[in-house]
A = this chain, B = another copy of it.
Amino acid sequence: MKKLSLFSPGTIANISCGFDVLGVALDEVGDVMHFEVTDKPGWQISEIKGADLPLDVAKNTAGVAGLSLLNTYKSQGGDPPGFSLMIEKNIKAGSGIGSSAASASGAVWGLNELLNRPFSPLELVSFAMEGEKLASGVAHADNVAPGIFGGFTLIRSYEPLDIVALPCPDDLYAVVLHPQIEIKTQDARSILKTQLSLRQATTQWGNLGGLIAGLYTNDYGLISRSLVDVVVEPIRSLLIPGFDELKKTMLESGALGAGISGSGPSVFGLAQGNDQARSIAQAIEINYRQWGIDFEVHCAKINTQGIKMIQA
């Protein structure tokens, strides 16, 4: 294989009760990446469409993730050919639906395919985390893991890295509203309290347990009751104009639950079925106009496959 094109999905991290441990991949919303094996050795990014990002692989999320993979490959005695990458960015940077993660995970996934899969999905996640570290200062896995594993993923542990791919109902959709304001991941993290009460913590892990049980049993009611965040949302939501009303509108339109996507500013809702998702999307389209902020609404099925090959 000398050429490869792939779709690298947007992802929602945290998912209410799953702060820092859960993420989920989306269909339809994502970047497209074109790889080519080149005669010239090395790893280069030839072009990025749709975003003003550095082409220098040492300064680019996809580039750094790819370097991490290629350096490991070489350290294990591999002799890789040259690779060139062209990216069509469709996910806006700073949106809160894993723009940097889509680049990082797509880069390592594509390189791994072209090298005939020397690395496991878990190893790919650890390479992609290097890209996340460049982007946000923290090597978190909750966006890159669902891209690579597909569907819902649980980061059970970081040391050692342990990722659990979770099932989900067939008919689960996400609606995301992205208010086009900037919230830096670092800022969103720095406003969090470093301590919480034991009661908050037990409430949160009860809900996380309920959400995971609901995903295993296709129990929409349990999923819905468990989509509660008593720790992070009460603080971070203050940074998102109109969050409370937006969440209320989603729930009144039938969302199973709603919350902050990643570290924001995007707000997500989960829905049972496409019709429900579309009607939530319509309701928030109308409702959010009052804030005078540009915004986009995405409506997507949960993507259980993750990154996927597409025809070039």
Contacts and interface: CB of A to CB of B under 8 A. Distances in A.
Interface in A197-252: 197-198, 201-210, 212-213, 216, 222, 225-226, 231
A259 to B, nearest CB: 15
A311 interface: no
Contacts of A212: 209, 212-213, 216
Contacts of A157: 203, 206-207, 210, 225
A239 to B, nearest CB: 17
A205 B162 contact: no
Contacts of A36: none
Interface in A9-29: 17-22
Contacts of A206: 20-21, 154-157
A196 interface: yes
Given A156-B222, A225-B156, A225-B162, A19 B196 contact: no
A195 interface: yes
A194 interface: yes
How many copies of this chain are found per oligomer?
A: 2
A204 B206 CA distance: 11
A206 B21 CA distance: 6
A194 B198 contact: yes
A310 interface: no
Contacts of A207: 156-157
Contacts of A196: 195-198, 201
Nearest to A210: B156
A167 to B, nearest CB: 8
Contact of A195 (B154, B166, B197): B197
A166 B222 CA distance: 13
A216 B216 CA distance: 7
Contacts of A231: 198, 201
Nearest to A222: B164
A122 to B, nearest CB: 13
Contact of A198 (B192, B208, B222): B192
A2 interface: no
A289 interface: no
A40 interface: no
10 contacts: A19-B202, A22-B209, A154-B210, A156-B206, A162-B225, A164-B222, A166-B213, A196-B197, A196-B198, A212-B213
